[in-house]
Structure 1
Amino acid sequence: MGSATTQRLIPFAATLIYLILIHSTPASSSLENRTAYEVLEDYNFPVGLLPKGVKGYDLNITTGKFSAYFNDTCSFSLESSYQLKYMPTIEGYISNGKLSTLEGIYVRVFFMWMQIVEILRYGDELFFSVGVLFSVFPIDYFEESPQCGCGFQCGGGQVRMPRINPFVSPYEGS
């Protein structure tokens, strides 16, 4: 066998390696206890961008790639102005104030369903893009999460969202 010093160093080294491994993954262990709504707030977004009922999520903190999961498709209307539809899995990339390459979130514009592909936060406003068209909303509208099926009109309660111009082209008014 080795010297007494070597025999004492082996348990110490094993403990040190164990502690290093535990502390080298703080983000993944802290994410396990956080909800998708809390993660949105970490990236400077309001919780109301996601409807109630998220069953789980995945997030690669290095790339920002995320997925959020619902039991089923989630649809609702907001003050009869917009109809929204979230597929059972939504995906995209998240960074501070930016959700990009989104898949699985749709808005009905006039008579067509269009995919929301990007959401940007500028100050107290959120810009929703469906490609060449976008719409702007105050961030206050998204303080609470809507509920699948009834939005904010559940149980007789009603949250009023003022009518805003539907999605417009960035070239209008120039």
Structure 2
Amino acid sequence: MNLLFKPNPMSLMAFLCLILLCLTPLMADEDTPTVYDALKEYDFPVGLLPKGVVGYDLDKATGKFSAYLNGTCSFSLENSYQLRYKSTITGIISRDKLTNLKGVSVKVLLFWINIVEVVRDGEELEFSVGILSANFAIDNFVECAQCGCGLDCVNNQVTRIKTNAFVSSS
């Protein structure tokens, strides 16, 4: 009696197809753009969101988006700007413009104020909190800040951002 298994060509093909079907979702995940890729598609720098976004939804027809973090995230920039991200950030994105933004706030004096809009104008980003806005050079957002320590996590110090900011009423 021969104990060696000799598969026929059809069962071998079926087995290979099964393996390919199982691996396809894994390979597709590698090709799926990240939220940071999506920001770049709309002409925004990746540093608008902190490191650690675990997922996102984007309706390309309407521009409605949601980005998800594992929890709230906060850090300081320039020793005076404190930013806070909720675990879910939503809004509407279009080329050079984020509107109806929810889930991102900045601390001004003693109060947390929601950032409601971000507009790219050339090499600057204008952050609006309603009637007030501030402009920053886009170079400040080429890398993502990390929750807790901002941009300088090695020394646990906050890196200063270059300001070209002014406050104006909209």
Q: How far did residue 32 of structure 1 move?
A: 6.8
**C-alpha displacement at 1:81, in angstroms?**
2.0
Q: 1:20-169 counterparts in 2 under 5 A?
A: 33-156=32-155, 159-162=159-162, 168-169=167-168
The letter for the 2-side match of 1:170 is S
Q: Any conservation in 1 of the 2:35–2:53 contact (CA below 8 Å)?
A: yes
In 2 relative to 1, CA 62–30 (structure 1 residues): closer, same or farther, beyond 3 Å? farther
Counterpart in the other structure of 1:12: none
Q: Which amino acid letter does the alignment assign opposite residue 148 of structure 1?
A: C
Structure 1 distance, partners of 2:125, 2:165, is 14
Deviation for aligned residue 1:56: 0.1
d(CA) in 1 for partners of 2:129, 2:84: 13
Report the TM-score, using the length of structure 1 for normalisation.
0.76
1:19 alignment partner in structure 2: none
TM-score, structure 2 normalization: 0.78
User: Do 1:81 and 1:163's aligned partners in 2 also have CA atoms closer than 8 Å?
Assistant: no
- In the TM superposition, what is the alpha-carbon distance from 1:169 to its structure 2 partner? 3.0
CA distance change for structure 1 residues 129 and 31 in 2, over 3 Å: closer, same or farther? farther
Higher strand share: 2
**Gap regions ≥5 residues in structure 1:** 1-28
Q: Which runs of 5+ in 2 are unaligned?
A: 1-27
CA distance in 2, matches of 1:59, 1:164: 31
Match of 1:5 in 2: none
The question of whether the paired residues in 1 share the 8 Å contact of 2:136 and 2:165 is answered with no
Query: SS in structure 1 opposite 2:168?
Result: coil
One-letter amino acid matched to 1:109: V
Aligned length in residues: 142
| C-alpha separation in 2, matches of 1:96 and 1:66 | 13
Which stretches of structure 1, 4 residues or longer, exceed 4 Å deviation after superposition? 29-32, 163-166
RMSD after superposition:
2.0
Deviations 1:122-167 (CA, angstroms, capped at 9, x unpaired) = 000000000000000000000000000110121117533145656x
Letter in structure 2 aligned against 1:34: P
Q: CA separation of 1:143/1:165 partners in 2, compared to 1, >3 Å: closer, same or farther?
A: closer
CA distance in 1 between counterparts of 2:54 and 2:30 reads 14
